[in-house]
């Protein structure tokens, strides 16, 4: 068996964390693609049998080819949809293959479920499905027991053929490429090719109850944090300098980390060369390489990319891009007064996040002055400068200057 990992999309809905491809987001010391590849390999698929589809800039290959030299890196020149991306792998596929997104640290579990259904039924194609209470929001299967007859895209409320939605993980036969070539080329040709196969050959659906990680919107970065903290190895590097009175529980402390007096670290990942000042609390948080948390700070359920410096204040349920600077007294409000669902604006449209605790998303190279505050759900673009005392109540485009 082989694997095709689709990492060519532009990730526009992931703004402002899309300055780099989202598969290159670092979490607990490794990029999401590295986590995914490691999991695929643990399912018995060697690195040489993994094909990564990337965009024309070859960003992923340049970033990871020295760490993952055995992968086959293939370019999709134009964003023509998922089916066209899969087709780019055709010359490298010898047999059955799984198709996954690049943000699957649990890929081995998915592959095992798909393989088990294939072995149980002998079906050539197996698709992953999951129960949903809102089938009108998804592509859903028309099923006869576990046999797929068709995929219906976003059916009208009350008219869905089932409550089993399509999950973006697939086990496909080599002859899938032939089916794809038989359907008209358009953005949803992949789904059309799947449906054509269903009509002509045995196609089964494997159900999963696992909460699959979706990385579509920027707040999903916080879910990545939550899931990968479960996988971290608790340890304290011998080169770390831990002062008196420090409390460390269920955490990874990297090389050359300095933690000053009376700070508390709980269930967190502290990357190499990071510094945490006196009397600070860091909980349920990931700090990548070279971060600085100043004295008398609290950071909770948040994710900092590399080289983020924070002077003091409260950061909660927030993701911050690389090289940003957070001034003294900055507060990220993370709960509505009525404790209701928090909304964000994505590409000009109001979008429910499904979260009742969510601070904000801050892009790369942002500078925030002292005593700045942000309201729940705000997205702050890359390279923004925010002056002292500003209350950020709405999204700020890349390069904004506010005072």
- The pLDDT-based confidence of 200 (bands split at 50, 70, 90) is very high
Instruction: Report, as an integer, the average pLDDT of 208-214.
Output: 78
- 60 and 193 in a common domain: yes
What's residue 302's pLDDT? Answer: 99
Same domain, 193 and 257: no
Count of domains for the chain: 2
**CATH number of residue 235's parent domain:** 2.160.10.10
Backbone angles phi, psi at 357, to 5 degrees: -125, 110
Q: Which domain holds residue 283?
A: 220-402
- Domain end position, chosen among 176, 207, 238: 207
Does 241 score more than 90 pLDDT?
Answer: yes
Pick from 53, 388, 350: nearest CA to 217: 350
Q: Are residues 191 and 235 in the same domain?
A: no
Of the residues 207, 241, 263, the one at which a domain ends: 207
Q: Decide if 214 is inside a domain.
A: no
Distance of CA 49 to the CA centre of its chain: 23
Q: Are residues 104 and 198 in the same domain?
A: yes
Helix 107-121 with 32-42: angle, nearest 10 deg: 40
The answer on 114 and 140 residing in a single domain is yes
- What rounded mean pLDDT belongs to the chain? 95
pLDDT of 79: 84
Question: Is the overall model pTM greater than 0.85, yes or no?
Answer: yes
- Determine the pLDDT at residue 97: 98
Looking at the predicted structure, is the pLDDT value of residue 347 above 80? yes
72 falls within a domain: yes
Whether residue 252 is predicted with pLDDT greater than 90 in this model: the reply is yes
Query: Rg of the chain over CA atoms, in angstroms?
Result: 22
Q: Answer with the one of 173, 207, 241 that is the final residue of a domain.
A: 207
Q: Which residue is associated with the tokens 């700045």?
A: 372
**Same domain? 325 vs 382:** yes
Judgement on whether residues 199 and 270 belong to the same structural domain of the protein: no
pLDDT at 137: 80
pLDDT over threshold 80, residue 185: yes
- Residues recorded for the chain: 403
**Phi, psi (5° rounding) for residue 377?**
90, 0
In a domain, 231, yes or no: yes
Cα 51 to Cα 26, 64, 96, 97, 261: the distances in Å are 21, 13, 13, 10, 48
- Percentage of residues in the chain with pLDDT exceeding 70? 100
- In this predicted structure, the answer to whether residue 83 has a pLDDT above a threshold of 80 is yes
150 and 79 fall within a common domain: yes
What separation in angstroms does the CA of 208 have from each of 11, 327, 401? 26, 44, 46
| Banded pLDDT at 153 (limits 50, 70, 90) | confident
**Residue 62's domain is classified under what CATH number?**
3.90.550.10
136 & 177 share domain: yes
Please indicate, yes or no, if residue 215 is contained in any of the structural domains: no
What is residue 209's predicted lDDT score, i.e. its pLDDT? 82
In this structure, the dihedral spanned by the alpha carbons of residues 375, 379, 380 and 386, taken in order and rounded to 10 degrees, is: -10
Q: Are residues 196 and 224 in the same domain?
A: no
Q: How confident is the model at residue 134 (pLDDT cuts 50, 70, 90)?
A: confident
Q: Report pLDDT digits (tens) over 294-321.
A: 999 999 999 999 999 999 999 999 999 9
Report the sign of the C-alpha dihedral through residues 43, 47, 50, 52, in that order.
positive
| Segment 118-132, tens digit of pLDDT | 999 999 999 999 998
Same domain, 145 and 226: no
76 and 44 share one domain? yes
Torsion, Cα of 34, 53, 42, 125 (10° steps): 150
């Amino acid at each position: 068996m082989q694997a095709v990992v689709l990492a060519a999309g532009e990730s526009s809905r992931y703004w402002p964390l899309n300055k780099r491809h989202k598969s290159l987001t670092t979490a607990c010391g490794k990029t999401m693609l590295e986590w995914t590849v490691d999991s695929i390999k643990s399912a018995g698929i060697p690195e040489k049998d993994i094909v990564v589809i990337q965009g024309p800039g070859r960003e992923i290959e340049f970033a990871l080819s020295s760490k993952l030299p055995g992968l086959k890196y293939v370019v999709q020149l134009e964003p023509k949809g998922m089916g066209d991306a899969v087709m780019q792998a055709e010359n490298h596929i010898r047999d059955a293959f799984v198709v996954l997104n690049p943000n699957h640290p649990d890929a081995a579990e998915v592959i095992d479920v798909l393989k088990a259904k294939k072995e149980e039924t002998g079906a050539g194609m197996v698709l992953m499905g999951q129960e949903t209470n809102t089938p009108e929001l998804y592509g859903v299967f028309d099923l006869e027991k576990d046999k797929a007859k068709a995929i219906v895209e976003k059916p009208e409320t009350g008219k869905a053929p089932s409550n089993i939605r399509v999950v973006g993980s697939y086990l496909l036969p080599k002859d899938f490429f032939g089916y794809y070539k038989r359907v008209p080329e358009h953005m949803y040709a992949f789904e059309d090719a799947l449906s054509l196969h269903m009509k002509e050959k045995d196609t089964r659906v494997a159900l999963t109850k696992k909460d699959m990680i979706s990385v579509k919107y920027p707040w999903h970065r916080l879910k990545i944090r939550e899931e990968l903290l479960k996988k971290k190895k608790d340890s304290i590097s011998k080169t770390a300098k831990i002062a008196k009175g420090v409390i460390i529980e269920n955490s990874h402390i990297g090389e050359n980390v300095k933690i000053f007096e009376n700070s508390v670290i709980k269930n967190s990942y502290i990357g190499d060369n990071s510094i945490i000042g006196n009397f600070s609390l860091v909980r349920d948080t990931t700090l990548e390489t070279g971060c600085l948390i100043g004295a008398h700070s609290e950071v909770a359920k948040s994710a900092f990319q590399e080289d983020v410096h924070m002077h003091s204040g409260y950061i909660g349920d927030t993701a911050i891009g690389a090289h940003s600077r957070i001034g003294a007294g900055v507060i990220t409000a993370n709960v509505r007064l009525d404790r209701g669902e928090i909304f964000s604006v994505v590409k000009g449209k109001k979008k429910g996040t499904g979260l009742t605790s969510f601070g904000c998303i801050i892009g790369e190279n942002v500078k925030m002055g002292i005593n700045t505050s942000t309201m729940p759900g705000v997205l702050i673009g890359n390279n923004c400068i925010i002056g002292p005392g500003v209350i950020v109540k709405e999204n700020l485009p890349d390069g904004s200057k506010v005072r």
